[in-house]
Structures are given as structure tokens and as C-alpha cells.
Structure 1
Amino acid sequence: MSRPERTKPNSTGVLSALGNKYSAEILCAAGTPKSAQALSEDIEIPIATCYRRIEELVDAGLLTCEGRQLSEEGRRTYIYRRTVDELEVDFSDDQPRFSRKRRTEAKNQLQDQLEN
């Protein structure tokens, strides 16, 4: 799988990504950097499904690829982390509006330290 490109999220893409089965579980599990394989195992979903959901979440701007790491098998794998901690959807206008509570780099670093 090639490195995912991040596109500018739109409301339809965000709603579509969140509406798919397992997307919320992937976001919850991706509070710390994890590979697709680790997410697949944590949530107990097929790896192909996990890759599809990851791609949708990256396209929606809710998940980001943080780089690569060496797997236990010695392969270089992409690792992902969610970009938001909270997402609010407002349907009161013609188009949905989102307010996001983005994860800060400081929070990511703190959480990484707590995991080690």
C-alpha cells in the first residue's frame, strides 16, 4: 500500500467515513500510533476492511499517516493516528458544519510517553 495522500476534507467525506462500520472503532483505537495490522487485530476486523476504512478516514482528515516503523516481521509498515479527539456536527444550516477538537502535538507526545 502506498503512502496515503491527505486531501482537504469535506462534510460529505467526513459523514461518509464516519458512517461506515468500524470507522469509530478505528478512531478510538488510533489514539496512539498503530499499523493497519495492529488496528485490525485490536478491533478484530479483516485487514482488507481495515485498510479501506483507514483510507476513508485519512481522506476525511480524521486519521493521519505518521510515518513508518519496522514490524515484528521486519517489514516497514505505515503507522496511523487520529487527528481529532472530538467532532461535533451541526445540521441547522443547508450544509452540515463541523467543529473539531484537534489533537495537539504535545498531547501526542505525552500519550506516547505514557505508553512506553
Structure 2
Amino acid sequence: MSHSRRERPEADSTAVLSALGNKYSAEILCAAGTPKSAQALSNDIEIPIATCYRRIEELVDAGLLTCEGRQLSEEGRRTNIYRRTLDEIEVDFSDERPQFSRKRRTEAKNRLQDQLKD
């Protein structure tokens, strides 16, 4: 059975609000329009790598960021790469619990953006 994003349980609302409320989360989501490693995100936003990893974990747990796979780092280590799962999110506080409307990224948009970056 399919559920719209507005029908997610309260725990999801709490996780999303908590993740979005943390410093650097919005910047990470903006920077993760194309697949990037935690190190690349840390460098782009100019934040400590440990902070970046914490925010990435929170954003992944909230469903706002996803691990797209692994790639070799410049040092030859396998590292996860991340991309945001949405382009827009709207929060409605007029009900008993926050309600979310999300504009999900499509796979076609991801592929097109990946081709344009190369």
C-alpha cells in the first residue's frame, strides 16, 4: 500500500524537524544536489568532518539524504557518497502535528545533473 509523505508517523516528523533544525543541515542538503563524499561536503561547506558525519547520519535517518554508493577517495579508500532525496520541503504547523509536503528528486533529474557535472 502506498502512503503519501504527509501520512508518515510522528517519529518521522520529529526526525525531519530535528535534522533540519541542526546547524549546517540545510547547507549539506544544498551541497548534495550531486553525489558527494562526506569529505567533499565538509570541504565545500567548510565545517569539521566529524560535524559533517553527524549531520549526514541525521539527514539519512530522516530520509532527507541517501547513500548513493561508494567511490574511491583520493587516498585510495572506499568512501560513501551522498545525495539529497528531495528538492523542496514545506512544513505546515496548522494541525496537531507538523505535516510535510516534499518535492522528491526524480532519478531522471539525478542522471541529467550527473551528466551536466561531468
TM-score normalised by structure 2 residue count: 0.91
Distance of 2:81 and 2:101 partners within structure 1: 25
- Alignment identity in percent? 87
CA-CA distance at 1:38 after TM superposition = 0.3
Distance of 2:31 and 2:90 partners within structure 1: 19
1:23 aligns to what?
25
TM-score normalised by structure 1 residue count: 0.92
Aligned with 1:81 (options 58, 80, 83): 83
Q: Secondary structure of the equivalent of 1:88?
A: strand
CA-CA distance at 1:30 after TM superposition = 0.1
CA-CA distance at 1:82 after TM superposition = 0.1
Distance of 2:72 and 2:50 partners within structure 1: 20
CA-CA distance at 1:19 after TM superposition = 0.3
CA RMSD of aligned residues (A): 1.1
CA-CA distance at 1:98 after TM superposition = 0.2
**Which whole-Å deviations, capped at 9, do the CAs of 1:47-92 have from their partners, x for residues lacking one?**
0000000000000000000010011111000000000000000111
| 1:46 matched to 2:64 | no
**Matching of residues 1-116 of structure 1 within 5 Å:** 10-116=12-118
Which 4+ runs in 1 deviate beyond 2 A? none
Structure 2: state its 5+ residue gaps: 1-8
Aligned length: 109
Q: Secondary structure of the equivalent of 1:31?
A: coil
Structure 1: state its 5+ residue gaps: 1-7
